[in-house]
Amino acid sequence: MENHRIIYLDNNATTRVDPEVFRAMEPFFCERYGNPSSIHRFGGEVAGDIEAARCRVAELLGAGFRDRDGIATEIIFTSCGTEGDNAAINAAFAARPGRNKLVTSAVEHPGVLAYARELIRRGRQVEFIPVDHCGRLDLEKLAAAIDDNTAVVSLMWANNETGTIFPVAEAARMAHARGALFHTDAVQAAGKVPINLDGTEIDFLSISGHKLHAPKGIGVLFVRRGIRFTPLIYGGHQERMRRGGTENVASIIALGRACEMARLALPDETRELARIRDRFEAALLAEIPRIRINGDLDNRLPNTSSVSFECIEGESILMLLDQFGICASSGSACTTGSLEPSHVLTAMGIPYHAAHGTIRFSLSKFNTEEEVDFVAATLPPIIARLRSISPYWEEQK
Ligand code: PLP
């Protein structure tokens, strides 16, 4: 692949580390490598750099609280988005000891869904709120599900497969009205849409560095001040006793810089991403019959395009795209040897013959109009070729 041009349209899976972010983290490997917990100045200075990064993260999230020392104590650094999701739900149950129920949605990331299933095994009650064919949350069912036994409601800000945005601010108010806490997995939303936590009642929010041009293996959990926080990981006194383990210093610095860059670029970048994405979708719709764009088209992430090509398999499309150096994802997962449509597409009721041929294209600031035009021109012959050998296409014609 080395001499081959790569067109990377899989940014909801992970993003390229921004070279500027990489430069910001570099000194923390071989030069400024002190332990922030050390008494000596060499380590102590690193602790200061961590606090500066913490403030930058808080600024992206619109979390304005600073303690007497000017520290954004609502921000806890974690190892990833998944840890933040688990830690938030765990802490919420600890903060609402008399309550036994989690309310979440059917389309969450496994960071929440797999933990929810584990909680069921441990005797907790979990209710999964359905979505409609556009992936929109059923707010009436949500209202009915939140009761006096609900400790926590956990809903993603934006869906990783379709980009559909949930009304999390409204859901947080609904949770509070019944005395429950509210967590949102904002892993896909952070850096792509504005977030202003101070204007909401959200109690916990998790993000992940590698979705916004920082490295893999770093995340953040926001915990609103005043909420009693029980850690998931016990150890040293790091993160004010809320997350044991020596800090991943270089990645924390990187995440701080990535958040700063995202905040400064947000409005322009969002507009440009949506423009390129919409141009891409318009080209596909004009050139390829029997396709559909999935998700809430009026309210979704600007970078995400989930496209169902009817009567063919997503994996075959991906393999042919790969020959052109084009990277995307399918909406299927391999379970017990057969390709099953993802839980998200299944929950949306996307018919089998469409769900099977679903590809997620997800853009970043590094993509160009020329790249998406190339992909849009490459796809029609690929789809025509696959349909010509698809018995299902013949049947459906
Ligand atoms: N939540 C969502 C919505 C995601 O898309 C992802 C990653 O794909 C995660 C959580 C998990 O983040 P991480 O890979 O940092 O654990």
Is 201's C-beta closer than 6 angstroms to any atom of ligand 1?
A: no
- Does residue 185 have its Cβ closer than 6 Å to ligand 1? yes
Ligand 1 in reach of 156 Cβ (< 6 A): yes
- Determine the pLDDT at residue 359: 97
Q: Which residue has the tokens 């996307």?
A: 350
The response to whether residue 160 sits with its C-beta less than 6 Å from ligand 1 reads yes
**Please, are residues 290 and 386 in contact by the beta-carbon 8 Å criterion?**
no
End-to-end CA distance of the chain: 38
Cα–Cα distance for residue pair 33/123, rounded to 1 Å = 44
Q: Which residues are CB-neighbours of 348 under 8 A, at least 6 positions away? A: 107, 131, 132, 133, 134, 135, 162, 294
Low-confidence ranges of the chain (pLDDT < 70): 1-3, 332-338, 397
Residue 393 confidence (pLDDT): 83
| Cα 34 to Cα 45: distance, rounded to the nearest angstrom | 8
Q: How many CB atoms lie within 10 A of CB 92?
A: 27
> Looking at ligand 1, which residue's alpha carbon is closest to its atom 12?
81
- The per-residue DSSP string of 279-325 comes to HHHHHHHHH-SSEEEES-TTSB-TTEEEEEETTS-HHHHHHHHHTTT
Ligand 1 near 208 CB (within 6 A): yes
Of 55, 311, 327, 334, which residue is the catalytic one? Answer: 334
Task: Give the dihedral of Cα atoms 317, 374, 342, 103; nearest 10 deg.
Answer: 180
Between CA 277 and CA 11 the distance in angstroms is 13
The CA distance from 193 to 191, in Å, is: 6
Residue 75 identity: I
Ligand 1 closest atom vs CA 217: 15
CA 358 to ligand 1 centroid distance, Å: 20
Q: Which amino acid is at 132?
A: D
Which residues make beta-bridge pairs with 309?
291
Note whether 318 and 328 are within 8 A (CB): yes
Q: Using one digit for the tens of pLDDT, what is the confidence trace for 10-29? A: 999 999 999 999 999 999 99
Distance of CA 126 to the CA centre of its chain: 22
Q: How far apart are CA 145 and CA 69, in angstroms?
A: 41
As beta bridge partners, residue 131 has 137
Q: How buried is 389 (Cβ within 10 angstroms: 0-12 exposed, 13-18 middle, 19+ buried)?
A: exposed
The beta-strand segments (E) located in 186-275 are 204-208, 219-223
Cβ of 344 less than 6 Å from ligand 1: no
Question: Is there a catalytic annotation at residue 259?
Answer: no
- For residue 298 the two structure tokens come to 């009026």
* Ligand 1 pocket mutation, candidates 160, 207, 255, criterion most atoms within 8 A of CB: 160
Indicate the burial class of 19 (C-beta count within 10 angstroms; 0-12, 13-18, 19 or more).
exposed
How far is residue 303's CA from residue 266's CA, in Å, rounded to a whole number? 12
Q: Which residue in the block uniquely carries the two structure tokens 């998406």? A: 372
CA distances, 217 to each of 24, 130, 214, 220 (Å)? 17, 31, 9, 10
Rounded to the nearest angstrom, the distance between the alpha carbon of 206 and the centre of ligand 1 is 9
- Over residues 62-114, the pLDDT tens digits come to 999 999 999 999 999 999 999 999 999 999 999 999 999 999 999 999 999 99
Strand, helix or coil for residue 70: coil
Chain-centre distance of CA 67, in angstroms? 29
**Antiparallel, parallel or unpaired: β 181-185 and 150-154:** parallel
209 lines ligand 1 (CB under 6 A): no
Name the residue of 14, 82, 232 to mutate for ligand 1: max ligand atoms within 8 A of Cβ: 82
The pLDDT of residue 392: 81
Cβ-proximal residues to 178 (8 Å cutoff; 6+ apart), any chain: 146, 147, 148, 150
Q: Which of 208, 213, 342 to mutate to test the pocket of ligand 1 (most atoms within 8 A of CB)?
A: 208
